Amino acid sequence: MLVLGIETTCDETAAAVVERQADGQAKILSNVVRSQTDEHARFGGVVPEIAARAHVDLLDGIVASAMKEAGVGYGQLSAVAAAAGPGLIGGVIVGLTTAKAIAMVHDTPLIAVNHLEAHALTPRLTCALAFPYCLFLASGGHTQIVAVVGVGEYVRLGTTVDDAMGEAFDKVAKMLSLPYPGGPEVERAAAGGDPTRFAFPRPMLGRADANFSLSGLKTAVRNEASRLEPLEPQDISDLCASFQAAVLDSTADRLTVGLKLFEERFGTPRALVAAGGVAANHAIRSALQDVAAKAQTTLIIPPPALCTDNGAMIAWAGAERMALGLIDTMEAPPRARWLLDANAKAPAGHANSRAGY
């Protein structure tokens, strides 16, 4: 089974060809990603209209590159898969419309993939992980703990009630005048800082649910930064280190609860899986390793190129769905919001339009 995957939900324009072999194993034949970081850097964040226009300009060439690198023709494809949401609607429309055009011209099945499902199934692409397992998805737009029970079977155990984790890192970087993207800059500054200098709150610590909250922590950083103005370089490092330490403590606590909730409903998870750009943070990786060890399970983090948005994960999710006969029609809609767990509800006060609701 050969599947072309297209990803345009935010500021990466990506396409890939993935082969799903008869035994269920995967082979990535190509995975082309063009980041728009430079286009958005001067604005300190992703500008939806600029992102959508860039997808229009770039996508045809990236799809062609992915097909050429894979060494296959459109007539050899078993399906065309595209991320149909959740995400920035302009970009989603570009990717899904392109996939529909390719599917129509070459009479190829179309698969509209939930971007979150693609992240959830990535460990099955990299190491053929068996169900069920627990996913911690943390990026600029998403922060969720999800029980991955099977293809199309997901139970959300926890989510953010306000900011996504990557978004909080980016906003802290912006208020401290660090370059965009902010997550790596905060981590870099934190390496030279004192994590005990500022007593920042640990949101949601000790609660019975597995939800996250980051807006109060972000506000605490802003208040301290305002009090210290003008900021010296060491102040910035200490603020970043103290902020990151609070995130680590909160994450460990929330995941510990999430894993307990998982075990109560589904038994011991085969692994704790981390995905999303935040999983590239070395301090967070270390904290996740500790959580997994205490829960007596394995931590699996896909390679960085497959943690962030990419076409291979979309192609693989499409292949997994096609293997079960889950094909979509040309009426499949683009969605700014799309629940991964159809029975879940947004927590009270949730306002993040990119978090999958």
- CATH number of the domain enclosing 86: 3.30.420.40
Quick one: 102 and 217 in the same domain? Answer: no
Q: For residue 341, what are its two tokens?
A: 């767990």
Q: What confidence tens digit (pLDDT) does each residue in 167-185 have?
A: 999 999 999 999 988 999 9
Could you tell me if residue 251 is inside a domain? yes
Place of tokens 């001067």: 42
Structural domain total, the chain: 2
Q: At 39, which helix (H) or strand (E)?
A: helix 37-41
Q: What percent of the chain has pLDDT over 90?
A: 85
Residue 354: per-residue pLDDT: 42
Q: What confidence tens digit (pLDDT) does each residue in 49-78 have?
A: 999 999 999 999 999 999 999 999 999 999
Quick one: 145 and 276 in the same domain? Answer: yes
Residue 188: per-residue pLDDT: 97
Residue where a domain terminates, one of 249, 265, 300: 300
Q: What confidence tens digit (pLDDT) does each residue in 230-256 have?
A: 999 999 999 999 999 999 999 999 999
**Mean pLDDT rounded to a whole number for the chain:** 93
Could you tell me if residue 270 is inside a domain? yes
Could you tell me if residue 355 is inside a domain? no
- Domain containing 233: what range? 133-300
Q: What is the 3-state secondary structure (H, E, C) of the chain?
A: CEEEEEECCCCEEEEEEEEECCCCCEEEEEEEEEECHHHHHCCCCCCHHHHHHHHHHHHHHHHHHHHHHHCCCHHHCCEEEEEEECCCHHHHHHHHHHHHHHHHHCCCCEEEEEHHHHHHHHHHHHHCCCCCEEEEEECCCCEEEEEEEECCEEEEEEEECCCCHHHHHHHHHHHCCCCCCHHHHHHHHHCCCCCCCCCCCCCCCCCCCCCECCHHHHHHHHHHHHHHCCCCHHHHHHHHHHHHHHHHHHHHHHHHHHHHHHHHHHCCCCCEEEECHHHHCHHHHHHHHHHHHHCCCCEECCCHHHHCCCHHHHHHHHHHHHHCCCCECCCCCCCCCCCCCCCCCCCCCCCCCCCCC
Does 263 have pLDDT greater than 80? yes
Residue 72: per-residue pLDDT: 97
Q: Rounded CA gap, 313 and 81, in Å? A: 10
Could you tell me if residue 339 is inside a domain? no
Could you tell me if residue 353 is inside a domain? no
Q: What confidence tens digit (pLDDT) does each residue in 202-226 have?
A: 999 999 999 999 999 999 999 999 9
Could you tell me if residue 239 is inside a domain? yes
Quick one: 98 and 173 in the same domain? Answer: no
Quick one: 151 and 120 in the same domain? Answer: no
pTM, two decimals, is 0.92
Quick one: 102 and 247 in the same domain? Answer: no
Quick one: 198 and 277 in the same domain? Answer: yes
Quick one: 187 and 259 in the same domain? Answer: yes
Could you tell me if residue 329 is inside a domain? no
Residues 9, 46: contact at Cβ < 8 Å? no
Quick one: 121 and 151 in the same domain? Answer: no
Quick one: 12 and 82 in the same domain? Answer: yes
Average pLDDT over residues 116-124: 94
Residue 356: per-residue pLDDT: 39
Could you tell me if residue 20 is inside a domain? yes
Quick one: 9 and 119 in the same domain? Answer: yes
How would you classify the pairing of strands 12-20 and 2-7?
antiparallel
Quick one: 186 and 274 in the same domain? Answer: yes
Residue where a domain terminates, one of 265, 300, 335: 300
Residue 84 pLDDT grade (very low, low, confident, very high; cuts 50, 70, 90): very high
Residue 347: per-residue pLDDT: 60
Quick one: 255 and 155 in the same domain? Answer: yes
Residue 352 pLDDT grade (very low, low, confident, very high; cuts 50, 70, 90): very low
